[in-house]
Amino acid sequence: MPYVTVKMLEGRTDEQKRALVEKVTAAVAETTGASPDKVVVFIEDMQKSHYAVGGKRLSDAE
């Protein structure tokens, strides 16, 4: 606890994801007082065909 879910378009590299969980964990621990080893991060990759803004999917906007 706390539990952080990051939902983003697929395509980031393994290296980016490694850095993401590290920096987000540090940011959460620093500002909430939670111990870093208690912070849980879930990454959820989205396909462009499953994500729409303004009624148009990113896959259709290309």
Active site (catalytic) residues: 2
Decide if residue 10 touches a second copy (CB under 8 A). no
End-to-end CA distance of the chain: 39
Decide if residue 37 touches a second copy (CB under 8 A). yes
**Residue type for position 50:** H
**Separation CA 61–CA 39 (nearest Å):** 36
Decide if residue 52 touches a second copy (CB under 8 A). yes
Decide if residue 12 touches a second copy (CB under 8 A). yes
Cβ atoms of 5 and 42 closer than 8 Å = yes
Residues that bind a second copy (CB under 8 A): 1-9, 12, 14, 16-28, 30-34, 36-46, 49-57, 59-60
